Amino acid sequence: DTGVSQNPRHKITKRGQNVTFRCDPISEHNRLYWYRQTLGQGPEFLTYFQNEAQLEKSRLLSDRFSAERPKGSFSTLEIQRTEQGDSAMYLCASSDLGRSYEQYFGPGTRLTVT
Amino acid sequence: AQKITQTQPGMFVQEKEAVTLDCTYDTSDPSYGLFWYKQPSSGEMIFLIYQGSYDQQNATEGRYSLNFQKARKSANLVISASQLGDSAMYFCAMREGQGGSEKLVFGKGTKLTVNP
């Protein structure tokens, strides 16, 4: 197992630009989660997938945010028209259906919107 | 109302001593799970331990144990024989419902510093 990987690790963008992050879960993990963590806070749930189906979305996920997992493997999180308030660490996690209580996290993508 | 409360922003412990990190939770769901994660300065969240609401015994994983007091709605993490590498942020989290929502709700965390 190579663990959950996320790319890029850091992203600096100007306000109003679109950004896309990628998450590769642990192979054969069928559940994939996205969280956002701001400074001094714990992670906040954004959305999760079981295979390619997006089963739950947080109210935090405004219409500027979209997540996909087209083939049930890697996932992308896109933020359109970024705002300074979007600056945060975006964390991806995956879990196995049989042990869904154990979510394995990736290293995160740190987004800075200037 | 906060679902997970961690009242200790920071804790200090001497190497080789035990330390308890506090966590209280709020839920009306009879079925829930409680988690502790460690987040070193590198940023990656590391799963430490899990306790189900119906589990009769307190969970243990190596030097980590979870002191689960259901009536008090507390799920404190006990780290025995602290090591310098234990210095990190520690987050308590809860998942409500069995087979329902998969989301974890996290507390604000406790920063643990282990002194040599």
Model confidence over B67-114: pLDDT tens digits?
Answer: 999 999 999 999 999 999 999 999 999 998 655 667 889 999 999 999
> How would residue B7 be classed by pLDDT, with cut points 50, 70 and 90?
very high
Question: Is B44 in the A-facing interface, judged by CB distances under 8 Å?
Answer: yes
Question: Is B57 in the A-facing interface, judged by CB distances under 8 Å?
Answer: no
Quick check: A111 and A19 in contact, CB under 8 A? yes
Mean pLDDT of A91-109: 86
* Residue found under tokens 């008090």: B72
Q: What is the pLDDT of residue B99?
A: 55
Write the burial class of residue B90 (CB in 10 Å: 0-12 exposed, 13-18 middle, 19+ buried).
Answer: buried
For residue B93, what are the β-bridge partners? B35, B106
- Of B112, B35, B24, residue with least CA distance to B66: B35
Question: Is B91 in the A-facing interface, judged by CB distances under 8 Å?
Answer: yes
CB within 8 Å: B108 and A40: yes
Q: What confidence tens digit (pLDDT) does each residue in A28-68 have?
A: 899 999 999 999 899 999 999 999 999 989 888 889 999 99
Q: What confidence tens digit (pLDDT) does each residue in B23-35 have?
A: 999 998 888 999 9
Query: CA B79 → CA A113, B17, B45, B52, B85, distances in Å?
Result: 38, 9, 17, 19, 12
> How would residue A106 be classed by pLDDT, with cut points 50, 70 and 90?
very high
Distance between B105 CA and the closest CA of chain A, angstroms? 7
SS3 content of chain A, % helix, strand, coil (to 5): 5, 50, 45
Distance between A15 CA and the closest CA of chain B, angstroms? 24
Q: What is the pLDDT of residue A1?
A: 54
Q: What is the pLDDT of residue B1?
A: 57
CB within 8 Å: A105 and B107: no
Mean pLDDT of A71-99: 92
Question: Is B48 in the A-facing interface, judged by CB distances under 8 Å?
Answer: no
